[in-house]
Amino acid sequence: MAGRYRSDLNWSDVTPKAEWLNRRQIMTGAAALGLGSIAAPALARFDPVASAFSTDEEPTSFEDITSYNNFYEFGTGKSDPARNAGALQTEPWPVVIDGLVDRPGTYDFDEIVSGQTLEERIYRFRCVEAWSSVVPWVGFELKDLLDRVGVQPSAKYVAFETAVQEEVMVGVQRGVMDFPFVEGLRLDEAMHPLTIVAVGVYDEPMPKQKGAPMRLVVPWKYGFKSIKSVVRISLVEDEPPASWNQLIPREYGFYSNVNPERDHPRWSQKTERRIGEGLFARRIPTLKFNGYGEEVASLYAGMDLVNEFY
């Protein structure tokens, strides 16, 4: 944490909450309807510090990033998570950290967050389905958590697992894919300063449809790598299974770095469309590593990211 760029300013200091909550409604001229109900200022929960890793692009509105989600545990439709995730039980939230670590155990969410300096990270978010958004996450570097539990030298990968609460998860009940949803990172990817554990957006606790109470965010990879509602973090020696990769290996690789040069077999990855910009939104070019190449390209030096390590 020491020596990192700091500033006392963050997003919530710049834009009044009513405005970011309702940007799309304001755009469509329906502001008068919406403003009254959200005018009361909520308590800022985190008051995060700003980060030099943040983009200066305009964040997508809170309403849009919380109403258009993929969270297959709660259904496969984009609006299903917003409709169904409310029943997710997040208190208490025990997280198992195990495998090749010095201090394995079950840590409660509050314990994990306490002592971490929370930062605001405004990241581009690129879904494998060729839509994207800009999200002001609140979180801390995964490295800070891994350092606290002590990673042993033999660990090469980190495996993650999403909660399964079958009684409230319609997607799990219907068996739309294998659950628990799992994901994995190479250790150097996990330790990279861009990789964060996010606990909020827009200075609000993480909405349930976005992966409450804590989720991974790896901004240079397709969105599904940023696994939601994490209940287990395991340090391991071999490449761990990743759900989408296991389901359709030809379409979703283990690495899944954002890469306009490698198309999804069923659609092009050369361009993307920002959500929340209406019916006439122009497609914008997709950037390699989602525009984070300067920070992360060196992790993949000498690797064929199109045919082999996609």
Binding site for other proteins (CB under 8 A): 24-25, 28, 30, 60, 63-65, 67-68, 72, 76, 78-79, 129, 131, 174, 176-177, 247-248, 263, 265-268, 270-271, 273, 275-276, 278-283
3-state secondary structure of 135: strand
Q: How many other CB atoms are found less than 10 A from the CB of residue 135? A: 23
Closer residue to other proteins (CB): 26 or 44: 26
Pairing relation of β-strands 105-108 and 94-99? antiparallel
Task: Find the shortest distance in angstroms from Cβ 229 to other proteins.
Answer: 19
Closer residue to other proteins (CB): 92 or 175: 175
Closest by CA to 141, choosing from 2, 253, 306, 15, is: 2
Between the CA atoms of 136, 138, 143 and 144, what dihedral angle is there, to the nearest 10 degrees?
150
Task: Find the shortest distance in angstroms from Cβ 242 to other proteins.
Answer: 14
Closer residue to other proteins (CB): 207 or 213: 207
Which whole-number Å values give the CA distances from 112 to 74, 100, 141, 145, in the listed order?
26, 18, 12, 7
Closer residue to other proteins (CB): 1 or 18: 18
Task: Find the shortest distance in angstroms from Cβ 176 to other proteins.
Answer: 5
Which whole-number Å values give the CA distances from 160 to 60, 90, 107, 169, in the listed order?
27, 17, 15, 19
Task: Find the shortest distance in angstroms from Cβ 257 to other proteins.
Answer: 19
Task: Find the shortest distance in angstroms from Cβ 133 to other proteins.
Answer: 8
Query: How far is CA 247 from its chain centroid?
Result: 21
Closer residue to other proteins (CB): 30 or 42: 30
